[in-house]
């Protein structure tokens, strides 16, 4: 086979990845837990072609060169090495969700690339091997290979740093309501942010406490215990943002409207609604609730000042090879 197409969902971390032990291999300082986001996906086709002089990349119909292409070629080079292949490839990738919506497209993009690229090269990689490969492109992409609720074990080397599923998508009817407060592109991307993490005096304490947070979060998911889940997810997000805000240079991703949403969510929970928040490296707020609360939560979110839209996603499956 010289061509293959794959799709992968982005994912939302409940316990966050922030900072690397090894920036090149993307070995994280701490393990993380996430949920794949169903209905949102990247679809990528990889075609190895004799006679191409360089790799080519198009994203949403636009040709990409420079650093964006280099990051893709880095993964294709690993695949070529594994398959003993020398041909360059044409990569065509499309996202069905808007960029700048608070959903990291690098996770779904590198998961789809790892799967489509390895298949197109004639390799039949195991799920852990695909997760390793996706991780080399973007750390969080390691978690978009397995399905449902996923844990990425930090590991200490390329071999033992990969993600696996801890529960199927149908295990818990959690819904992510993404409150959009800004669609502007962030100034500091995650890759640069990870490299700044060690400059915060709070990072060591955050990392040291991670096994405890992972244990509480994993147990809460397995037992579908929303109360325990809500408090650990909010704590973890706030801890990551404390590190971001205290690095040099400081990274402040929250906008006034992000804080407004977080404060409303805390208030609604105090009123007895099962709801909690988490925020990634951007201003938009991911608001989590069980299916039974979704109509109420979505309606309330749309009424919060500064919220321009709400996207809804449930737990999604693993990355898949598809017919084009
Ligand atoms: C805040 O995986 O996007 O979303 O490895 O440099 O591509 P790179 O970083 P990335 O970082 C994700 C950071 C986060 C937290 C998380 O998803 O765990």
In percent, the amount of the chain with pLDDT more than 90 equals 94
Quick one: average pLDDT of 280-304? 97
Domain boundary among 170, 191, 206: 170
Same domain, 117 and 181: no
186 Cβ neighbours under 8 A, 6+ residues apart: 253, 281, 282
Question: Which tokens go with 255?
Answer: 């906008």
Query: Distance from the CA of 292 to the center of ligand 1, in angstroms?
Result: 30
**Nearest alpha carbon to residue 218 among 8, 35, 27, 25:** 35
Same domain, 18 and 165: yes
**In this structure, are residues 57 and 91 in contact, taking their beta carbons and an 8 Å threshold?**
yes
Same domain, 193 and 143: no
Ligand 1: residue whose CA is nearest its atom 14 = 280
Domain boundary among 170, 192, 226: 170
* Region for residue 122 given its phi and psi (left: phi exceeds 0; alpha: psi -120 to 50; beta: otherwise): left
Same domain, 145 and 283: no
Same domain, 110 and 177: no
With a cut of 70, say whether residue 17 has pLDDT above it: yes
Same domain, 178 and 97: no
pTM exceeds cut of 0.75: yes
User: How many alpha carbons fall within 13 Å on the CB side of residue 63?
Assistant: 4
Ligand 1: residue whose CA is nearest its atom 11 = 190
Strands, E assignment, the chain: 3-8, 11-15, 20-22, 27-28, 32-36, 42-49, 56-59, 62-64, 88-95, 149-153, 162-167, 174-180, 276-279, 285-290, 309-314, 320-322
State how many domains the chain has.
2
Q: Are strands 309-314 and 174-180 parallel, antiparallel or unpaired?
A: antiparallel
Domain that holds residue 83: 2-170
Query: Distance from the CA of 140 to the center of ligand 1, in angstroms?
Result: 5
Same domain, 150 and 17: yes
Same domain, 63 and 210: no
Quick one: average pLDDT of 25-33? 98
Quick one: average pLDDT of 102-123? 94
- Three-class DSSP category at 320: strand
* Ligand 1 binding pocket, CB closer than 6 Å: 13, 16-18, 26, 32, 104, 106, 138-140, 190-191, 194, 280-281
**In this structure, are residues 78 and 133 in contact, taking their beta carbons and an 8 Å threshold?**
yes
Atom of ligand 1 lying closest to residue 139 CA? 5
Confidence of residue 1 (pLDDT cuts 50, 70, 90): low
Q: Compute CA 312 distance to the chain's CA centroid, rounded to the nearest angstrom.
A: 16
Residue 179 backbone dihedrals phi, psi, to 5 degrees: -85, 110
Same domain, 113 and 229: no
Cα dist from 63 to 5, 106, 218, 223, whole Å = 18, 17, 41, 46
Cα pseudo-dihedral 106, 48, 158, 248, rounded to 10 = -30
Domain boundary among 108, 143, 170: 170
Q: State the distance between the two ends of the chain, measured CA to CA, in whole angstroms.
A: 14
CATH number at residue 263: 3.30.70.890
CATH number at residue 59: 3.30.230.10
Confidence of residue 189 (pLDDT cuts 50, 70, 90): confident
Q: Determine the Cα–Cα distance for residues 124 and 132; give it in Å rounded to an integer.
A: 14
Instruction: Let me know if residue 261 belongs to a domain.
Output: yes
Q: Determine the Cα–Cα distance for residues 37 and 252; give it in Å rounded to an integer.
A: 25
Quick one: average pLDDT of 26-32? 98
With a cut of 80, say whether residue 125 has pLDDT above it: yes
Q: Determine the Cα–Cα distance for residues 150 and 309; give it in Å rounded to an integer.
A: 27
Query: Distance from the CA of 122 to the center of ligand 1, in angstroms?
Result: 29
Instruction: Let me know if residue 320 belongs to a domain.
Output: no
Confidence of residue 100 (pLDDT cuts 50, 70, 90): low
Same domain, 82 and 156: yes
Q: Determine the Cα–Cα distance for residues 109 and 198; give it in Å rounded to an integer.
A: 27
Reply yes or no: is the peptide bond before residue 249 cis, omega within 30 of 0: yes
With a cut of 80, say whether residue 151 has pLDDT above it: yes
Query: Distance from the CA of 143 to the center of ligand 1, in angstroms?
Result: 10
Confidence of residue 101 (pLDDT cuts 50, 70, 90): low
Q: Are strands 88-95 and 56-59 parallel, antiparallel or unpaired?
A: parallel
Q: Which residue has the higher pLDDT, 187 or 316?
A: 316
Helix and strand totals (H; E) in the chain: 9, 16
Query: What average pLDDT does the structure give for the chain?
Result: 96
């Amino acid at each position: 086979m010289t061509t293959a197409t794959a799709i992968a969902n982005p994912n939302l971390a409940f316990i966050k990845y922030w900072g690397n032990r090894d920036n090149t291999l993307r070995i994280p300082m701490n393990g993380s837990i996430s949920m794949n986001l169903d209905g949102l996906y990247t679809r990528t086709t990889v075609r190895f072609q004799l006679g191409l002089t360089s790799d080519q990349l198009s994203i949403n119909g636009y040709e990409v060169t420079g650093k964006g292409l280099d990051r893709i070629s880095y993964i294709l080079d690993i695949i070529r090495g594994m398959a003993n292949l020398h041909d360059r490839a044409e990569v065509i990738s499309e996202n069905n969700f808007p960029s700048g919506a608070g959903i990291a497209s690098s996770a779904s993009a590198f998961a789809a690339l790892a799967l489509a690229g390895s298949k197109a090269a004639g390799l039949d990689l195991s799920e852990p091997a695909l997760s390793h490969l996706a991780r080399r492109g973007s750390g969080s992409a390691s978690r978009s290979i397995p399905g449902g609720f996923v844990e990425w074990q930090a590991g200490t080397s390329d071999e033992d740093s990969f993600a696996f599923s801890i529960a199927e998508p149908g295990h818990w009817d959690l819904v992510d309501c993404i409150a959009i407060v800004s669609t502007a592109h962030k100034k500091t991307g995650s890759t640069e942010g990870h490299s700044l993490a060690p400059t915060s005096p709070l990072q060591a304490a955050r990392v040291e406490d991670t096994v405890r947070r992972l244990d509480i979060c994993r147990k809460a998911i397995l037992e579908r215990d929303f109360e325990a889940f809500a408090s650990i997810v909010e704590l973890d997000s706030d801890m990551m943002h404390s590190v971001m805000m205290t690095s040099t240079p400081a990274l402040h991703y929250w906008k006034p409207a992000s804080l407004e949403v977080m404060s409303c969510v805390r208030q609604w929970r105090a009123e007895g609604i099962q709801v909690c928040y988490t925020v990634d490296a951007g201003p938009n707020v991911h608001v989590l609730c069980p299916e039974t609360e979704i109509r109420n939560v979505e309606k309330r979110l749309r009424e919060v000042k500064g919220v321009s839209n709400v996207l809804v996603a449930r737990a999604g499956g693993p990355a898949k090879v598809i017919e084009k």
